[in-house]
Amino acid sequence: MTPAEQSRQAAEFCRLAPVVPVLVIDDIAHARPLAEALVKGGLPALEVTLRTPAALDAIRAMAEVPGGVVGAGTLLTPADVKAAKAAGARFGVSPGATERLLDACAEHDLPLLPGAATASEIMALLEKGYTVQKFFPAEQAGGAAYLKSIGSPIPQVSFCPTGGISLKLAPEYLGLKNILCVGGSWVAPKDAMARGDWAAITTLAAEAAALSR
């Protein structure tokens, strides 16, 4: 899968809703009800970060939820890419980009949202054919003001910014021409997951899904 093909598919996933939940799952028992709650609230694209031992099993469980499109985040190595694809991930997200990681996504046909934080990184990925990228860490790297500025000299690239974004900050990003969606963890708070309060998470998801872009 070429970078251009990856970006086309990534754009389709990003356009499903204004927010892609960024999920850290410690308990596999939470995976399916969490996915069901988020999809019910209108957020079908789900990023499960590979930061916990339960992550790959969570992707397997969530991939079976009707209406959900599950991806793997925090991809760092070719082994991560292979494991994520085998678990059922339909897209991948990385905090940055290395040649080995990009090659692995091409080899395993996994659409990637490669991470970039500077103009040079964005340009290097664009040169390879990636027209859809993750901007990370969004708030710490300059926020919506930076992305608005980068949109003038590099209008070919669209972004999913992630990192420090909240419900309050999201509209500022979503109002920009070069933003497809934002990534955020606020829609799946750990305390709500611990309580099994899936109704509360559905409410948060619906609130996020209603954001205009």
Catalytic residue among 5, 36, 134, 168: 134
- pLDDT category, 3, cuts 50, 70, 90? very high
Catalytic residue among 5, 36, 40, 47: 47
CA distance 59 to 88: 6
Residue 139 annotated to the active site:
no
- pLDDT category, 213, cuts 50, 70, 90? confident
Write out pLDDT tens, residues 93-140.
999 999 999 999 999 999 999 999 999 999 999 999 999 999 999 999
Q: Counting beta carbons within 10 angstroms of the beta carbon of residue 142, is it exposed (0 to 12), middle (13 to 18) or buried (19 or more)?
A: middle
For 110-159, the DSSP string reads --EE-EE-SHHHHHHHHHHT--EEEETTTTTTTHHHHHHHHTTT-TT-EE
pTM: 0.96
Residue 99 annotated to the active site:
no
Q: In what order do the strands lie in the sheet with 19-23?
A: 112-113, 91-93, 69-73, 45-49, 19-23, 182-184
CA distance 167 to 44: 17
